[in-house]
Amino acid sequence: MLHIKDLTYRIDGRELFSGATASVPSGKRVALFGKNGTGKSTLFRLILGDAAPDGGSIEMRQRASLGAVAQEAPHGPESLLQTVLDSHKELKDLTDRSETETDPVKIAEIHMALADMDAYTAPARAASILAGLGFDADAQARPCASFSGGWRMRVALAASLFNQPDLLLLDEPTNYLDLEGVVWLENFIKNYPYTILIVSHDRDLLNRSVDGILHLQNGKLQYYTGTYDQFDNKRRQEMEQQASLKVKVDAQRKHMQKFVDRFKAQASKAKQAQSRMKMLDKLKPIITEGEDATVPFHFPNPEPLAPPLMNVEDASVGYEEGKPILSGLNLYLDMDDRIALLGQNGNGKSTLAKLLSGRLKPMTGSFNKPNKLKIGYFAQHQLDELNPKESALQHLEQAMPKEPPVKLRAQLGAFGFGVDKVDRAVETFSGGEKARLLLALMSREKPHVMILDEPTNHLDVNSREALIHALNEYEGTLILITHDQHIIEACIDRLYIVRDGGLNQYDGSLDDYRRGLLGGRKDKSQKNDSGEPVVRLSKKEARKAAAEKREKIAPLKKEMLDAEAVVNRLTRKLEEAEAKLADPKLYDDASDADVTTLQKDKAYLAVQISEAESVWLAATDVYETAKSS
C-alpha cells in the first residue's frame, strides 16, 4: 500500500529522516510510533504531499485513495450529519448531479455509480459514526457552528472515517475523545476494511487495534508485526543484543589498536600493523540505541488529615442559577481513596471536578471538608493560561512568592525541569513540557487531594508510565478523569459514572464497562451478571451503609498502618546502623567488640524488617479485601 524509499528530510538544518525505508502492507492497521519530536507528524505531511522530501520517495498503490482528519474543524451552518455526508466529495458531486441532470442515460449512470458506492446507506453509516463519537440524534441535527472547537474536531474525525479511504492517516485521534469514544474508535479501527496508519500514545488502543508498528528512531523506519506490547518486548531484546555486541566489538577494536600503536613503527611488523588498521576502519563502533531517557514525576506527599477529606451530601451544581447540571450528588472520600470519573463528555465530569476543587459552589445540599485541606487541580484548558513569554521559574515564583529560589528549582526539578529548562520561555515548550509545568504548579503545596482532568493528552508512552509510577507513590487522594484506560487500571480503586445528571458508583470492572459500551447496553451499574436489575439503596440508606462499612474496616486500617509504622521504624534503625558501619572513624575509635555488636545488630534488624514486612503485607491484603467487598 505505502512504500517509503531512502527518505531524507531536513528542517532548519536538522535531519529528521536519513535514508529511511519501509513498507506498510495493504489492509493492515499500523501504528507510527516514536518519541515526541522525532518527526511522526512530519512524515504524515510528506505522505499527504504537504511537504516535499529532500531525497528519496514516498509511493502509494496506483489509484489508491488517501485521507486524513482535516486540520481545521468544520464550522458551517449545516447539520453535523450533513457536514459528514458532504465531506465525501464524490458522493456529494453525484448526489448534486442526480438532482439537476435531465439526460436519462446520464441519470442512469449516476444512479449506478451511487449504487456502487452504497450511497443509499450513507446517511445511516454517517449517523452511526457520529453516534459512536458521542453525538446523539438531536446533536446530529444541530448546526456544526453551534458546537465548541473540541466537538467540531470530532466531526472532522467522523468525516475522515466516513470517507473510508484506502489509506487513512490518524494523528492522535483520541485527544478530543472521552473513554466512551476511545472504546468505540478502538473497535472501528480493528474492523476497518482498508489500511490505517495511526499516531497514538494510547497503549491500550495500540494493543487492541493495530497489528503492526512502524518504529521511527534516529531518522530511520523499521516495521514490526504485532501489537505494541509485542513490539516493546522485541525492541528490548534487540537493545540487549546490541549492547552485548557493542562490548565485543569495542574489545576487538581496543585489542587491534594496541597492536597498531605498538608495532606501526617497526619495519618487521609494518605490514601486519597496516592490515590491522584496515580492519579497524571496517570494524565500525556499534552505536547502541538505549531506552530514551524519560524524566520522572514526583508528587510531594501531604500531611495526614482525619477523615473524611470530602463529604458531599445531596448537592447540586451548575453554572446558572436554578439550572443544575448535576443533582443528588453524594460522595465520601478518605485519604487513600482513588477514583475515576467515567461518562461521555458533556455529561458533567469536569463540572463535578470544579465543584470538588472549590471552583464551583454547590447550589443545594452540602459539601464539607477540613479547613486545612489542600486541593490540586489540573485541567487541559490551563495550558492556554500559561504566559508564553515567561519561564517555568517565573511561573512558580508568582505562585510561591515567599519561597527561596532553591526550593522553587527543587520543585521544578521534580518534574523534569533542570538547569537547562527552568529559565526557558514557555513558548518554546512542547505540549508535554507545558503539562509537566502545570503539574509542578498544581502540586506545589503538597495537596491532600489531586484532581486530574485528562493529564496524559500531551505525554508519550514512556512519560505516561512515569506518571503512573508517581501517582502510585503519591499518598493522598486521587480523582481522575481520563480516556486512557491503562492509567485507570494501574492507579484507580473505584469507578464512578457521571450520567443523566447524577453520580453513581460503578459495580463492575473497567473491562465490564468496555464490554457494556461495545454491546450497546446499559453498564453493569444497572444490571448484574444475570442481567437482572440491581436494587439500589436510597441515598439515606447508602450513606448509612457506607458509614457502617467504614466503622467495620477501621480496625483493619489501623492494624495495617501500625504494621507499616513498625517497618518504617526498623528501617530507620537499620539505616543508622549501616551509616555507622560505613563511617571510617568507627574503626579508629571503637573496639573490635563494639564493631562486632553493631554488625550483629544490623543482621538482626534485617531479619526483623523481613518479618515485619510480612505482617504489614498480610494486614494490607486483609484491609484492601474488606474495603473492596
Alpha helices in 117-148 (DSSP H): 122-132, 137-141
Per the CB < 8 A criterion, the answer to whether 174 and 151 are in contact is: no
Task: Report d(CA 210, CA 24) in Å as an integer.
Answer: 12
The answer to whether residue 283 scores a pLDDT higher than 80 is no
pTM given for the model = 0.70
CA distance to 34, 203, 564, 623, per residue, from 344 (Å): 30, 21, 40, 33
Separation of CA 139 from chain center? 29
Q: Tell me what the pLDDT averaged over the chain comes to.
A: 84
The answer to whether residue 342 scores a pLDDT higher than 60 is yes
The most confident of 111-120, 154-163, 510-519, 568-577, by mean pLDDT:
154-163
Residue 530 banded pLDDT, cuts 50, 70, 90: very low
- Sign of the torsion angle spanned by Cα atoms 275, 276, 279, 284: negative
Strands (E), 321-447: 323-333, 338-342, 364-368, 375-379
Mean pLDDT of 445-465: 90
Helical packing angle, 431-442 and 405-413, nearest 10°: 130
Sequence-separated (6 or more) residues with CB below 8 Å from residue 452: 378, 478, 479, 480, 481, 482
Q: Are strands 14-24 and 2-11 parallel, antiparallel or unpaired?
A: antiparallel
Task: Report d(CA 473, CA 74) in Å as an integer.
Answer: 43
Mean pLDDT of 467-472: 88
Mean pLDDT of 191-220: 91
Cell 496508519: give the residue.
197
Task: Report d(CA 221, CA 241) in Å as an integer.
Answer: 19
Helix, strand, coil percentages (3-state) for the chain, rounded to 5, are 50, 20, 30
pLDDT of amino acid 537: 46
Given CATH 1.10.287, say whether it is the number of domain 545-628.
yes
The most confident of 148-162, 516-530, 596-610, by mean pLDDT:
148-162
Separation of CA 204 from chain center? 10
Task: Report d(CA 5, CA 56) in Å as an integer.
Answer: 6
The answer to whether residue 584 scores a pLDDT higher than 80 is no
pLDDT of amino acid 567: 82
pLDDT tens-place string over residues 231-271: 888 887 776 666 666 666 666 667 667 766 766 666 555 55
pLDDT of amino acid 493: 84
Per the CB < 8 A criterion, the answer to whether 527 and 533 are in contact is: yes
pLDDT of amino acid 552: 75
The most confident of 272-281, 388-397, 525-534, by mean pLDDT:
388-397
What DSSP element (H or E) covers 67?
strand 66-68
Mean pLDDT of 322-338: 89
Q: What is the CATH number of domain 310-536?
A: 3.40.50.300
pLDDT of amino acid 284: 54
The answer to whether residue 298 scores a pLDDT higher than 80 is yes
Residue 273 banded pLDDT, cuts 50, 70, 90: low
Q: What angle do CA 474, 478, 479 make, to 5 degrees?
A: 160
Residue 188 banded pLDDT, cuts 50, 70, 90: very high
Q: Are strands 195-199 and 29-33 parallel, antiparallel or unpaired?
A: parallel
The answer to whether residue 227 scores a pLDDT higher than 70 is yes
pLDDT tens-place string over residues 11-67: 877 888 999 999 999 999 999 998 877 889 899 999 999 999 999 999 988 888 999
The structural domains of the chain, with segments of one domain joined by +, span: 77-164, 232-282, 310-536, 545-628
Task: Report d(CA 27, CA 576) in Å as an integer.
Answer: 63
Per the CB < 8 A criterion, the answer to whether 56 and 4 are in contact is: yes
Three-state SS at 178: coil
- Sheet containing 477-481: give its strands across: 375-379, 449-453, 477-481, 338-342, 494-499, 502-506
What is the C-alpha radius of gyration for the chain, rounded to an integer number of angstroms?
Answer: 30
Residue 148 banded pLDDT, cuts 50, 70, 90: confident
Q: What is the share, in percent, of the chain residues with pLDDT greater than 90?
A: 37
The answer to whether residue 69 scores a pLDDT higher than 70 is yes
pLDDT of amino acid 528: 44
Length of the chain: 629
pLDDT of amino acid 526: 43
- Sheet containing 323-333: give its strands across: 323-333, 310-320, 364-368
Least confident of 126-130, 252-256, 309-313, 367-371: 252-256
The answer to whether residue 287 scores a pLDDT higher than 70 is no
Residue 534 banded pLDDT, cuts 50, 70, 90: very low
Q: What is the share, in percent, of the chain residues with pLDDT greater than 70?
A: 86
The answer to whether residue 536 scores a pLDDT higher than 50 is no
Q: Which residues are bridge partners to 222 per DSSP? A: 215
The answer to whether residue 542 scores a pLDDT higher than 80 is no
Residue 221 banded pLDDT, cuts 50, 70, 90: very high
Cell 511537504: give the residue.
51
**Cell numbers that stand for 85 in this block:** 455526508
pLDDT tens-place string over residues 379-426: 878 888 889 899 999 999 998 888 898 989 988 888 888 888 888 898
Task: Report d(CA 82, CA 85) in Å as an integer.
Answer: 5
Q: Are strands 502-506 and 494-499 parallel, antiparallel or unpaired?
A: antiparallel
Residue 525 banded pLDDT, cuts 50, 70, 90: very low
